[in-house]
Chain A
Amino acid sequence: MSVWEITGPGNDIVVSSRVRLARNLAGMPFPPAMRPGQGDEITQKVLTGVQNREEFNGYRFLQLRALDETNRIELVERHLASTDLLRNPDVGGILLSQDETVALMINEEDHLRIQGLLPGLQIMEAANRALNAEKAVEQVCPFAFDETLGYLTSCPTNVGTGMRASVMVHLPALKLIGMLKPLIDSVVKAGLAVRGIYGEGSEALGDMFQVSNQITLGATEEDLATTIQAVCGQIVDREQTARDALLHSKRLEVEDRLYRSWGILKHARTVSSKEFMQLLSDARLAVGMKLVDDVTQTDLNKLMIAVQPAALQKHAGRELTVEERDIIRANYIRSALNK
């Protein structure tokens, strides 16, 4: 079972909601200053601490150094690891809940990044899951905390709550009517950040964007989550209005474009990763506009994760050339959509 197999509220426009809490164990140097051996010490402290706690029943531990490159990247594709975690392959690890909605990254930029991840727009619940795991770890491993500055982190941009809440939204209609830039500008003015699908510096593939809080100090966890939830609620409304307007004023053009993409997805013999994300964007829009009803957004989410480069190689059990990957991707998409 994975997050991407669950149907979430508002799934037509919101792909997923995620909260990450940055924490460091009290009395130990932060990852940028750790000496050899201290990374493993952190891992041991956390694992020993949580092993008999019922909150962590059914969790499994993945150690990066025990995984090959493909398996590591696949964790990023499933949004269970960050690209930053992969920069510490010797000491990095992930403690993962059975349904994968809670993941504790160990030895990323901070000792712990505790993540709650859920499909659709449910940032409060994602925050609760992360905070519950955090409270349980705190009972056994006290965290670096300052009365004034709150939780202390490697980077001063994360001090205080250490909380980063982000929602992945799919905004193809706003893009089509040319309203994306003004919307992003106003979200940024509201003090939030807008990024590509895999976080900082990544490209906005398939018209998907991550909206997240910029500040972590001075506001409560609840304030941060409420703001994100409210802003994303407004973004969803605007995207929905844009979709309705498109269907009203340009129905033929929109239908033509979306059905063409749908045809390519169902019949192409080779599809690159980038092309797939654009076709997927059209497919999500087609399902959202009820032009296509033989698949759900959840089916498309599963497909999105399954045909990423590392996932395909993991499935094939070997490294694939780019050409091979594009062919296997097309085969996989065809068999998934032509059931």
Chain B
Amino acid sequence: MMCDQCGERQATIFLTKVVNGEKNEMHLCKKCAEEGQNSFFEDISLVNILANLSGGTPRVRQPEETLVCPNCGFSIERFRREGRVGCEQCYRHFAAELTPVMRKIHGSLQHTGKRPGAPVRQSASTEKTQAAQMTDLRQRLKAAIKGEEYEKAAMLRDEIRALEATTGGAKK
């Protein structure tokens, strides 16, 4: 068998590379193997492993592969090359590619550890309380109008307006 690299000398070294179950064989002569001048000797860095996990064996790129995060301008190509993303929104925009990668690395996709502390959680629960409060006020207003308690209804209306003002008045 002749060397796959130079095609001149007898191949004496046989290499097998398996990436994601895809088998790839190379037959090299001693000289070419020593020089290592072929893509077979890629740097097996974490980045390349990540890229390979995401199915990024350097083939012909399809058009949709030039995905770019609208928030930070980071491209999916750059993730494949460097194994890094550019911002928190990349996780959403590149989800199709990142999700299987993360599943392979961590064996899980659900965070179970620490969550942002008191202030953040408080604001979330305050929001909930405000929404519940609003529903309650509206129901009471409805009932007041139905029962022709106009004085009470005016007070409830003012309360609703005040609450709308603190939540940014989004809900009318």
Q: Which A residues fall within an 8 A CB radius of B?
A: 24, 26-30, 32-33, 109, 131, 135, 138-139, 142-152, 154-157, 159-161, 163, 200, 214-221
Contacts and interface: CB of A to CB of B under 8 A. Distances in A.
Contacts of B83: 155-157
A219 B113 contact: yes
Contacts of A26: 88
Interface residues of B, number: 33
Contacts of A109: 84
A144 to B, nearest CB: 4
B113 A143 contact: no
A152 B88 contact: yes
Contacts of A144: 87-88
Given A142-B116, A152-B91, A159 B102 contact: yes
A284 to B, nearest CB: 31
Interface string B112-123: 111111011000
Given A145-B120, A146-B91, 15 more contacts: A30-B72, A32-B84, A131-B114, A139-B117, A146-B88, A150-B115, A152-B88, A156-B50, A156-B101, A156-B102, A157-B105, A218-B107, A218-B111, A220-B112, A221-B113
B23 to A, nearest CB: 25
Contacts of B145: none
Contact of B74 (A32, A145, A157): A32
Given A154-B84, A218-B107, A33 B113 contact: no
A149 B109 contact: yes
A215 B91 contact: no
Contacts of A27: 88
A17 B114 CA distance: 21
A148 B112 contact: no
Contacts, number: 116
A150 B109 CA distance: 9
B91 A145 contact: no
Nearest to A152: B88
A189 to B, nearest CB: 14
Contacts of B72: 29-30, 33
Contacts of B46: 157, 200
Ranked nearest first, the 8 interchain pairs of A and B with the lowest CB-CB distance are: A218-B108, A150-B111, A33-B86, A217-B106, A144-B88, A161-B113, A220-B113, A33-B72
B116 A30 contact: no
A219 B112 contact: yes
Given A26-B88, A33-B86, A156-B98, A217 B73 contact: no
A142 B73 CA distance: 23
